[in-house]
Amino acid sequence: MTRAGIFITAAELKRLLDGGGPVAVLDVRWQLNEPDGHDAYRRGHVPGAVYVSLDDELTDHSVTGRGRHPLPTGSSVQAAARLWGVRDGVPTVVYDDWNRAGSARAWWVLTAAGISDVRILDGGLAAWTAAGGRLEAGEVTPEPGDVVVTHEDLYHGALPTLTAEEVAGYGGLLLDARAPRRFSGEDEPVDPVAGHIAGARNAPSTDVLTADGTLRPADDLTRFFDDRGVAGDVGVYCGSGVTASVVVAVLRDKGIDAALYPGSWSEWCSDPSRPVATGS
């Protein structure tokens, strides 16, 4: 069953494609230690899927002071999405092969830009093949799409966001989606400062998934968020706004309109005047 219009199962996607129904499928393979998934895409992808580069097309590296993965502009998203074949009135399915990070980033960026009916493939590429879905190799060049983006500034788009200044005075609950050792400051492989934003609670994005990469059962997710005191206003961050999108998507699936802090820890820790906490 599709969950709250955010996720789609592999079986549902298979029925859509087997039935010839209109759908745009985007392959957003990305990992922290292997950000370019294009070669993996070429070796095998969901039939008809178009490769999307998280670093080049879902990020604007010309923006400074807003972390490692600054948000792109709406106009750049529109231009890219049309090249991917995304069309108005046609659903878009995004998938990845690593902890839903790439697909959640794509879901967040496209939705924040004002593109409707974007779904994350629950379980990613592994779920597709487990459901009997075949793979095709090589590149896919679709017919150009006609999608229209309604928000130029994604920091003030169709999904709620937080700035560093707003985080500093935030009265809601702040969740940190990084791994526990990064949250505690015991390990920091990427950013120059270890630790977390004072007052935040750890909610690792990988903990909302089962061992096979699909979402945990609804009751488990309710307990997971209840244990962290989720109620009222909620903001989510991670290292650079990517894996936090996974937690935001799951919260939205549960009816909680959580705000993303796009700059996340990479922006926060770049200013030595901002308070940093360590420990669990």
* Residue among 49, 179, 208, 238 flagged as catalytic: 238
Sort strands 234-237 and 92-95 into parallel, antiparallel or unpaired.
unpaired
Encoding tokens for residue 143?
Answer: 């017919």
Written in H, E and C, the secondary structure of the chain is CCECCCEECHHHHHHHHHCCCCCEEEECCCECCECCCHHHHHHCECCCCEECCHHHHCCCCCCCCCCCCCCCEHHHHHHHHHHCCCCCCCCEEEECCCCCHHHHHHHHHHHHHCCCCEEEECCHHHHHHHCCCCCECCCCCCCCCCCCCCCCEHHHCCCCECCHHHHHCCCCEEEECCCHHHHHCCCCCCCCCCCEECCCEECCHHHHECCCCCECCHHHHHHHHHHCCCCCCEEEECCCCCCHHHHHHHHHHCCCCCEECCCHHHHHCCCCCCCEECCC
Encoding tokens for residue 186?
Answer: 């015991």
Strand partners, 201: 175
Sort strands 92-95 and 118-121 into parallel, antiparallel or unpaired.
parallel
Is 269 labeled as catalytic in the residue annotation? no
Catalogue the active-site residues.
Answer: 238
